[in-house]
Chains A and B, each alone.
Chain A
Amino acid sequence: MLLHVDGVHKRYGRRVALAGVSLTVAPGETVALMGPSGCGKSTLLRCINRLTRWDAGEIYFDSAPVGAMGPDEVRRLRRQIGFVFQHFHLIERLTVLDNVLLGLVLGGVPKEEALERARAALARVHLAGEERLYPAQLSGGQRQRVAIARALALEPRLMLLDEPTAALDPILVGEVLDVMEELARTRSTGMLVVTHEVRFAMRVADRVVLMDAGTVVDEGPPEEVFRRCRSRIAQSYARLLVS
């Protein structure tokens, strides 16, 4: 198993964000993580690459316990896990190319190779011609694709995408979803995608995990989850699917 989250608890003061979440992602597998706002999806993603620490339970990446990692190991972990944020988090002062190069060069990849890999990553998100531009000169969809390329360039074994289309104009959502779908089809990396796009989940995800109030309430292949509608959450997503 590539990723194994095992009964993770997390509270912020008295507020419980995660109440014993467990899930798995296999190598090359695409999992859609869905659930109402505030149910703990982002918190879970941040725990997985140790941007946040948790209170109980354990997360295993490639069978290694993430909670026990020292600073160097955490950095190595992070280089194997690409993170795509809802709000892109690009470095404003750097060009598109430099944003993609940043993790490679500072991670010790030789200049030539880094450039090749960065350009390849940009090509995969259809931004080959825009490498000299700055983030401020790009549309939201383009920015998110740069962010995806930046994560992808590190050739991660797992991608964590936290509502990558939620901050976009509806007409720009498609281009990002297309890129993600192409990525999923290659099966080169495991993907854990937080999304509210039910059709995308139906079409692309190998499995759907439904969360509510800090726990997993339902899980399985998308058609199955949305057909049997075991949970209230599944019902509301299924209704979206019909409309």
Chain B
Amino acid sequence: MSLLREPFWREYVFVVALTIILGAGCAAGTARALDAALGEAAHSLLGEAGQYDLIVHVRQDYREVAGRELQRLLVDLDPEVRVVPGVIVAGNANFLVELPDNLLKQDALEDVAARLEDVPGFNGYTWLLEPSLSVSGLQPALRDLVAREAASLPGVRAAVRGGSSVTVLLEHIEYREQVAAALRELVERRQVVEVRLPGGGASAPDQATTEATDEAAGSAVEAVRAALAPLAIAELTAEEPGPGSSLTALRGLLASLATRVRVQPLPETSLQIGDRLVLQGSAPSPPGPGEPPGPEHLIVEVVGRRGGEALGWIVQGDAGQGTVQTAFRLVNGAVGPPAGQAVLESPRWALAQGLTGDGPVGQELEQLAQIARETADRLGDLTALVAPEAAQEAIEQRAERLARALRAGDGASAVRETLLGVALSVLTRKLQEAGGAGAMDGAGAGGNATVAGGAPTGGRLALRFDVEKLEQLRQSLMSLADAVEALKDGAAGELLAGLVDVQQLVGNLRDDEITGLLRLVDGVAGGEGAEPRLVFLVDDRVTAADIEEAIRRAAGRDAVVVAARAGVVNPSARSLLIELLADVRRSIAGIVAVLVAGAALVLDHATVLAALRRLEVPPATANALGAGLGAVLLGGVWSLSGAELPFLGPAGALAAGAALGLVTALLADRLSPVRVEEIVAGQSLGLTNGQIMREIVVPAGRPGLLSLVNRWRREFR
């Protein structure tokens, strides 16, 4: 500290302080300027606060037509709606929508949102309702519950559902804190707990078998319900079908179409689940013991038992007409001893023959027509899926996409699923045809999602899809719809023709295909239908372990329990944006702080540090001084400018500064070479270190704040 006696070193300390103050001003100023620019952009994006209520995102290439259509759809709703084109951001054109006061109600707003789906190129929407709050990340059933509860809070004008969130429009901004607290109470004090019961029941094509296994699963489910009743606030599954429900329906449909196989075992013979049996099927001769089964023989896998009978599904071949046949065991790939009498009942055969019973005839015709059209539309999508370019994809991927496309049709009726099922089966047939004969075996083997692929062994799979045939199907669905409509005018004959058309396609399904499809559905649905899954809303004090324990005690089995917070309360979109901008400002300030500290170190302090070594200051001292300087500079600018970086706190800033400073000290000679001879000359003239710094070293170094300040006290300019 005796150093400070010399004026130069006092100036030096002054320069460090000045650097910090100017640097902080510079960092904060840059950040603020940027903030203003961003605020301007935000303003042009969102309008004045409260000016617009909704922002609709549309794919940029649909901009023109979407604008017209949006205008039409909304003005139709209320002539006072105003639609203003906004900026284009990242491929999305945005439209700002101003809604009249009378539309600012829950049902009207939800109706507006629903209409947006019809806008061409629609790519989502964001509520700009002000003042508002939003609750996001909600499970569908909980979303409805939260919307109901939120709507009844004082100060809430509307609670609008959309996707997995609820946007809560307030009467007045002053309710904000109070409503936010209440909403937080609603979602953040609760958690959604999903309970899965693994091995709940085996998948089975036969309605009866499914029922039998469902019964066992059902009792377990009831036990879980009973066990969780005291812990749970509500059960959520019952209120709304999950996203997989249409698959469940599809699965039910497929099961209803599959040939039912019941085997009455011979005395002393017991059939176990998983056993395989060989039947004559439509082959000219019965299976010969000791020989492998022929291609036209049926192979049945036992999947359940009821009473004394074994229930099975066909994993190879097609039963055709129902019959009674002898079932032989399949032992090591060869036909074994007889095991019993199999009764085959084909519901499809019956359907195709007479359109009896469970077919779509029983449904309302209006609905049928509508669904036929929708399905025909969707089939258009499916046709795209099997177009030649799609053939490059692996079969599993295609099956995934297919299943996803199907699942997208939410909340559909069984009739819709019927027709979707037809489409799916035709596709699967195509897949199998392309996959070669080997696919047949694959269809039965081990219920995985690749069943449709039965992947051909070796060689590249050259899939060719008969797009024409799909087109045919689509046509017949369209004409079915036309026919249904025509029925109103009394043209019953056409309807019948249309139905027969479709039913023929249904009748054309093979049993092993159906089995394969079932397994495919089970596979993509994550074992849905096989694994009972319950969702409860519980207080957040209840832990997953508590629940597991309760289930173990009540149902005597282990369950997989996943718990997650019910949802998150956010400020409105605008407030989020404003917070985001504040984050950006702090980050920019942080970056500028680092730049300022770096520049000061390189321009001013590298020179001083390099000279210190020549003035016989030990290297360790110079390094420590460098690290200290860096920490003081960056830390100072950081804290004064209110900087913040996501990965660097104030302590991090100090450490980063110290590291920068240390590196500067180590590289000082290279960053700012000093003329050693001049320093020695100064020493030989009896100058002090400070004088040498001020008159010799700093002026010859890089121009920085130090050389600027140094200039006025310098004797030799």
Contacts and interface: CB of A to CB of B under 8 A. Distances in A.
Given A93-B699, A105-B715, A79 B685 contact: yes
Contacts of B687: 75, 102-103, 106-107
Interface stretch (A82-90, A181-189, A195-203, A212-220): A82-90
B189 interface: no
Contacts of A78: 683-686
12 contacts: A85-B677, A85-B680, A87-B677, A89-B678, A89-B680, A89-B684, A91-B696, A92-B700, A103-B687, A105-B715, A105-B716, A154-B686
Interface string A40-73: 0000000001010000000000000000000000
Interface residues of B, number: 19
A154 B685 contact: yes
B219 interface: no
Given A49-B684, A78-B686, A150-B685, A93 B700 contact: yes
A232 interface: no
Contacts of B677: 85, 87, 89
A94 interface: yes
Contacts of B557: none
Contacts of B715: 105-106
Find the residue from B682, B686, B699 having the highest chain A CB count within 10 A: B686
Contacts of A163: none
Contacts of A154: 685-686
A76 interface: yes
Nearest to B681: A89
A98 interface: yes
A76 B716 contact: no
A91 B687 CA distance: 13
Pick the most buried of B675, B684, B696: most chain A CB atoms within 10 A of its CB.
B684
Interface residues of A, number: 27
B691 interface: yes
A106 B700 contact: no
Interface in B230-285: none
B214 interface: no
B681 A76 contact: no
Interface string A99-122: 001110111000000000000000
Nearest to B2: A71
Given A102-B685, A106-B715, 14 more contacts: A51-B683, A75-B686, A79-B685, A85-B681, A89-B677, A89-B678, A91-B682, A92-B675, A92-B678, A94-B716, A102-B682, A102-B687, A105-B715, A150-B685
Contacts of B688: 75
A118 to B, nearest CB: 12
Contacts of A91: 678, 681-682, 695-696
A77 B688 CA distance: 13
Residue from B675, B680, B691, B716 with most neighbouring chain A CB atoms (10 Å): B716
Interface string A138-161: 000000000000100010000000
Nearest to B689: A71
Contact of B686 (A87, A92, A107): A107
A93 B675 CA distance: 11
B672 to A, nearest CB: 15
B681 A90 contact: yes
Contacts of B682: 91, 102
B716 A98 contact: yes
A93 B699 CA distance: 8
B700 to A, nearest CB: 6
A79 B678 contact: no
B684 A107 contact: no
Contacts of A107: 685-687
Given A89-B680, A102-B695, A102-B716, A76 B685 contact: no
A77 B685 CA distance: 10
Main secondary structure of the interface of B (DSSP, over half): helix
Top 10 nearest A-B pairs by Cβ distance? Answer: A103-B685, A78-B686, A89-B681, A83-B684, A79-B686, A89-B677, A75-B686, A106-B691, A98-B716, A91-B678
Contacts of A90: 678, 681
Most chain B beta-carbon neighbours within 10 Å: one of A49, A75, A76 = A75
Nearest to B675: A92
A51 B684 contact: yes
Nearest to A103: B685
Nearest to B694: A106
Contacts of B695: 91, 102, 106
Contacts of A87: 677
Nearest to A147: B681
B679 to A, nearest CB: 9
A102 B686 CA distance: 10
A78 B699 CA distance: 23
Contacts of A102: 682, 685, 687, 695, 716
Contacts of B685: 78-79, 102-103, 106-107, 150, 154
Nearest to A98: B716
Interface in B667-717: 675, 677-678, 680-688, 691, 695-696, 699-700, 715-716
A216 to B, nearest CB: 24
Interface in B469-509: none
Most-contacted residue by chain A among B685, B687, B688, B700 (CB, 10 A): B685
Contacts of B700: 92-93
A33 B408 CA distance: 101
A12 to B, nearest CB: 15
A103 B682 CA distance: 8
A75 B692 CA distance: 12
Contacts of B699: 93
A101 B699 CA distance: 17
Contacts of A77: 686
Nearest to B696: A91
A26 B685 CA distance: 22
Nearest to A87: B677
Nearest to A81: B684
Contacts of B680: 51, 85, 89
Nearest to A82: B684
A166 to B, nearest CB: 15
Q: Which of A74, A91, A92, A102 has the most CB of B within 10 A?
A: A91
A94 B675 CA distance: 14
Contacts of A89: 677-678, 680-681, 684
